[in-house]
Structure 1
Amino acid sequence: MRLKKENGWKNMAEEKKKEIFEFSNGYKKFLNDSKTEREFVRNGIKVAEENGFVNAENVEKLKAGDKIYYVNREKNLVLVIVGEEEVEKGVNFVVSHIDSPRLDLKQNPLFEDTEFALLRTHYYGGVKKYQWVSIPLALHGTVILEDGKKVDLAIGEDDNDPIFTIPDILPHLSKNAQDDRKAREVIKGEELQLVVGSIPTSIEDKEVKDKVKQAILEKLNSDYGMKEEDFISAEFEVVPAFKAKDLGFDRSMIAGYGHDDRICGYTSLKAILEIEKTPKHTAVCYLADKEEIGSTGSTGLESRYLEFFMSDIMYKLKDNYNDYFLRKCLWNSYALSSDVNGGINPIFKSVHEEQNASKLGYGIVMTKYTGHGGKGASNDADAEYVGMLRKMLNDAGIKWQTGMLGKIDEGGGGTVAKYLAHFGIHTIDAGPALLAMHSPYEVASKFDLFETYRTYKVFYER
C-alpha cells in the first residue's frame, strides 16, 4: 500500500544506483555554476540552444514539435515544446522558482568602521540570520555602469579568489552583547555586514578620511570600471562560497546551497530537454523568480508574464487568435508547482506529524496543500487531479510520497501554486524533501532528485 512509505534505496540494483549517482553529478555542477537566478537563466539558455530550442522572438509561426524559449529580464526562462493537440485543450506546466534565500547588498552599501571596509546587506527571503555569519561568502552580481556598460561578476568561487565573511562575536565576550538574545535575534539584520578589506589607500589626500574604503573603490574601479555611485544601478547577491558535495559515508545525499528550489529547476529543465517525441499536449517548463519574497514584481508568478508568453504561443499557432482561447487554454491546463517540502529532521522530529510527513529517500513528495494554520494562503489540489497523478506515477513505477510542511499550527509556508490556480489551472505541489531548508547548506537525497526528474518527464509526456 502507498500509505506505508518505502525507502527508495532498499534492494536497489547497483546498475540503478550508478545511474542515479551519475545524474547527481550533473546536478551538483549546475548547482555550483548557478547560484543566482541570472546565472541559472544564462546556463539554462545555453543547454536549451544545444538541444534545439530557439528564441521565440525569432519565430513568427509555430507548429507541433517546435521547441522555443522565452526570457524575461534575465530572471525567468520558459521552455516550450508545442504539442499535437490544439493548445486550447490545455498545457502541461512544470513551474519551479530559481531564486533562493540570500543576502543582497543595499543600494549604498560601502562604508568604513575601525579601519575595516564593509558592505551593508539586506536579507532576501526567510533566513535564520545567525547561519550567515562566520562562513565563507561569495559576491555575485550585475552592475550597470554610468556609461551604460553592463558588467557581470562572481568573486569567491574560484580557488584563487578571495572570499568574504560576516564575523561573529567570540564566545569569550558574548555574554552581555549576544547570549541573552532570542534565536531570531542572535544576529540582527543590520549586523549582517560583510568585511571586504583592511588595507588603506596609498594615495595621500587630506580630503579622503576613509582610507580603507577608498582603497576598495580604487580596486573596484581598476577591476570592473566601477565608481561608488554605480552600486545604485547594481544587483549584488551574497551567497555561500562553498560547493555542493556528496554527504555521508554512502554518498546518498547532496549538501549544497540553493536546493530550494533549484533542485526542481534543474530536474524540470533536464526533463523537457530530453523529450524526443512531440508530446500530445504542449509542454512548458517555467523557471520563475521572487518566490522567496512572495512571487512579487515583474519576474514573479504574481506578474502577468504567464499570460504574455502563452498568448504569444497561441497567436503564433492560430490565425484567429482572441483572448477567449487563452482563458480556455489555461482553464484546461495542468501544472506541477515544483517546489520542495521539509523532510523529517532526525534531530528535530517534534515539529512533524510523522504519519503525514515526508522523508528523504522515499521519492518525490506530493503536497496537496501548504499554507498556515487552517490552510491559509494555500492552493488545495482537487481529489480528481490527485487521483490522476497517483495513477500516472504508479503506472510509471515512480516512488512517491505525500507530505505536509510540519504539524498544524507549528508554522507553515507557501509556494507558487496559488498563482497558477488563479487561472483555473489544475495545480499541486510536487518536489523532493529537504533537510535544513533555507539554510546556506541544505540537504537532499540523490534518489529523490532522480525520481523528481522522472516525474517531470512523465508529466510533460502525459
Structure 2
Amino acid sequence: MNPKLSKKEIENLRKHTAREPSLAWDVLSKNEKDKVFKFAEAYKTFLDTSKTEREAVSTILEMAQKNGFENIDEGNSNSGKFYKIHRDKAIALGIIGKKPMADGVRIIGAHIDSPRLDLKQNPLYEETDMAFLKTHYYGGIRKYQWLARPLAIHGKIIKNDGKELNLSIGESEDDPVFTILDLLPHLAGKIQGDKKLSEAFEGEKLNVVVGSLPLGDKETKERFKLSILHYLYETYGMIEEDFISAEIEIVPAGNARDIGLDRSLIGAYGQDDRICAFSALEAIREIKRPDTTSVALFFDKEEIGSEGNTGAKSRFLEEFVSDLLVKAGSDASERSLRKTLINSMALSADVNGALDPDFQEVHEKRNAARLGYGVCITKFTGSGGKSGSSDASAEYMGVIRKIFNKSNVVWQTGELGKIDQGGGGTIAKYLAVYGMEIVDCGPALIGMHSPLEIASKADLYMTFKANKAFFSAKG
C-alpha cells in the first residue's frame, strides 16, 4: 500500500521527482528577456543576408573574421581561432582548446541549405505571350505553398569568359519580384480540387513568371523570351548558355518579420536550419579559449540527404580537424585523427517540428516539442522503427542534460510526429560513423519547410545558450 502523505509532502514529492517542462518566458528574468529580443534582431539580419548556402557562408565568414578567426590555410593565429571554407558552400570554425585534441573535440554541426526551387539548366522559355523560368524543386516542399506569392532570384553564374556573377533580384523595395501562377477557384475544381493534394500540384508546373513584354514585331521568333535575353545581356552581360554554368535559386522574397502583436515569434524563410547555424555561430564567437577544442560546422545539402562534396557525407570534417591537429602541434596521422574523432562529443544542430495547435492529431502530445519551451533534444530521428536514425546513448543524454541544467538552459525533448506518421533525418548519422557521441539539438518550428517558418524568440535564445554551454563545459 502507498504510505499516507500530507498535502505538503505530496507537493514536495511532485517537486523533487516529477518533470514539468518549463515555458521559457516563465523562467527568463527581465534582463534576459531584453537579451532575447536583442538577439532576435541580429538573427533576423542574418536570415535576410543568408537566403542561400553561398550567402550564408559569406555572412558567417564576415562575422567570424570580426572575432579574430583566420584562414587555417594561411594564418598562424596566436588565439588559435581558425576557419576553413569548402567550395563556398560549407564552412568550419574552430578554436583550439587547452586539452590535447586526441582526448576529443566538441562539435556543433548545422546545415545552411533550405528547401527551395532551383532553375533547370535550360530554364528560359515562352508560352502564351509570357516568359517563364522552369524549376526543379530542392528538398521536401509542399508545392502549393510556392504558388501565388512574391519570389526572389538568388544565385551564382559563371560566364563563358570565366567571370563570376552573383544575382539577388527581388529583395530591394525597388526590385521586381517573381511568382508562380495559380488557378482561380472558379476553374480549379477538376484540375486541382478533385485530386489528391500530392497529385493536384505538379512539379513541372512550378514555372516562374519573368516577363510579358515583346521585343520586335509580330514576325520576330520567340520575342518574349528574346526580350528577357536582351535584358539579361544588357544588364549583366549574360547569354542563354550561361544558365548551364549557374546555380540559381528561387526563394521567397522579403525580410524576416516579427509575428504577433507581442512580437514573441519570428516568421521567415530558411529557419530550418539557419536558426541553428546562427546560434552555433554566436556561441563559438563568444567563447574565449575553451577547455576542449571547439568546432562549429556549417554544411550544405542536408535537405537532400547530405549528398555531394559539400554535405556531411563529404570528408570536410576530417580535413578541418586534421588541419587543427597540425596547428595545435599534434600528430595529424590518420590514426590520430580517428582517435580524436571517436573521442569527440557533438550536437547535430537541427530543428524539430513543434506541436501545431490546428493539427495536434499528427503528434504524440506527451513527446511533442512545443514553441516557447526551450531548445529541443531529439534523442533519435528516422521513421517508423527509428529507421535511418542515430539514437543517442543514455550516457550521452545524461552528459547533455547535466550541461544544460548546470547552465540554466530551458530545454525539452521531442519526436517528429507519431511513430508511423512522422520522421525525418539530420546530419547526426553521418558524424556518428566516426564513433563520436552525438545527439540532435535545436529549437522546434511550426510550418517547417514552408516559405514562412515560425520560431519562438525564447527558443532561439535558449538554443544559443545551450550551444555556448556545450562549448564551454569542462570535462
TM-score, normalised relative to structure 1:
0.97
Question: Does the residue aligned with 2:284 lie in a helix, a strand or coil?
Answer: helix
Q: What residue identity is the alignment partner of 1:15?
A: N
| Aligned pairs for 1:260-299 within 5 A | 260-276=272-288, 278-299=289-310
Q: What is the distance in 2 between the residues matched to 1:179 and 1:23? A: 43
Structure 1 residue aligned with 2:462: 451
The aligned runs of 1:67-146 (5 Å cut-off) are 67-146=81-160
In 2: Cα distance, 1:321 partner to 1:152 partner: 37
Query: 1-side partners of 2:332 and 2:175: how far apart?
Result: 53
Could you tell which deviates more after superposition, 316-325 or 125-134? 316-325
3-state DSSP of counterpart to 1:57: coil
How many Å separate the matches in 1 of 2:350 and 2:41? 21
Distance 2:180 2:43 in 1: 29
1:408 and 2:419 correspond: yes
Q: How many residue pairs get matched? A: 457
Aligned equivalent of 1:439, options 446, 450, 453: 450
Structure-2-length-normalised TM-score: 0.94
Alpha carbons of structure 1 residues 186 and 286: separation in structure 2 relative to 1, 3 Å: same
Alignment equivalent of 1:43, drawn from 59, 67, 75: 59
Deviation at 1:319, TM superposition (A): 5.9
Q: Percent identity?
A: 51
The verdict on how the C-alpha distance between 1:351 and 1:310 changes in structure 2, with shifts beyond 3 A counting, is same
Answering whether residue 295 of structure 2 is matched by residue 322 of structure 1, we say: no
Q: 1:87 to 1:11 in 2, by over 3 A?
A: closer
- For residues 429 and 149 of structure 2, the distance between their equivalents in structure 1, rounded to whole angstroms, comes to 35
Q: What's the offset of the Cα at 1:318?
A: 3.2
CA contact (8 A) 2:96 2:328 kept: no
**Structure 1 segment 250-265 matched on structure 2, within 5 A:** 250-265=262-277
- Give the structure 1 partner of residue 5 of structure 2: none
CA distance in 1, matches of 2:432, 2:156: 33
Tell me which amino acid in the other structure corresponds to 2:384.
Answer: G
CA-atom RMSD, angstroms? 1.3
1:313 is paired with a residue whose SS is helix
Determine if contact 1:8/1:447 at 8 Å carries over to the other structure.
yes
Identify which range, 302-311 or 374-383, moves more after superposition.
302-311
Q: Which of these residues, 368, 372, 389, is aligned with residue 357 of structure 1?
A: 368
- 2:42 paired residue number: 26
User: Aligned partner of 2:366: which letter?
Assistant: Q
Partner of 2:185: 171
CA displacement at 1:179 relative to structure 2: 1.2
Written as runs of structure 1 = structure 2, the 5 A alignment for 1:390-429 is: 390-429=401-440
- AA at the equivalent of 2:306: S
Shift of 1:311: 1.4
**Alignment deviations for residues 41-80 of structure 1 (CA, whole Å, 9 cap, x no partner):** 0011111111101111103x677x4111000010101011
2:211 to 193, 197, 205: 197
SS at match of 1:151: strand
* Counterpart amino acid of residue 285 in structure 2: L
Q: Does 1:53 align with 2:69?
A: yes
> For residues 372 and 430 of structure 1, what CA distance do their matches in structure 2 show?
17
Per the alignment, residue 343 of structure 1 pairs with 354
CA distance, structure 1, for counterparts of residue 26 and residue 66 of structure 2: 37
Q: Contact 1:97/1:288 (CA < 8 Å) preserved in 2?
A: yes
Q: In the TM superposition, what whole-angstrom CA distance separates every residue of 1:347-403 from its partner, at most 9, and x where no partner exists?
A: 000011111110000000000001010000000001101001111111111100000
Q: 1:2·1:401 contact (CA, 8 Å) conserved in 2?
A: no
Measured in 1, the distance between the counterparts of 2:431 and 2:154 equals: 30
Instruction: Quote the offset at 1:139 in angstroms.
Output: 0.3
- Contact conserved, 1:62 with 1:313, CA < 8 A, in 2? no
Partner Cα separation in structure 1 for residue 313 and residue 319 of structure 2? 13
After TM superposition, give the deviation of residue 2 of structure 1 in Å: 6.8
* Residue aligned with 1:450, SS: helix
Q: Secondary structure at the match of 2:24?
A: coil
- Cα distance between partner residues in 1 of 2:43 and 2:132: 34
1:378 has 2:389 as partner: yes
- The alignment status of 1:162 with 2:176, answered yes or no, reads yes
**2:333 and 2:18 mapped to 1: Cα distance?**
44
1:221 and 2:233 aligned: yes
Alpha-carbon distance between aligned partners in 2 of 1:265 and 1:221, rounded to the nearest angstrom: 36
Deviation at 1:205, TM superposition (A): 9.4
Q: Measure, in 1, the Cα distance between the counterparts of 2:189 and 2:218.
A: 41
**Secondary structure at 1:70 match in 2:** strand
- 1:310 is aligned, of 321, 328, 333, to 321
Residues 1:210 and 2:222 aligned together:
yes
Are residues 100 and 266 of structure 1, via their aligned partners in 2, closer, same or farther at CA, if it must alter by over 3 Å?
same
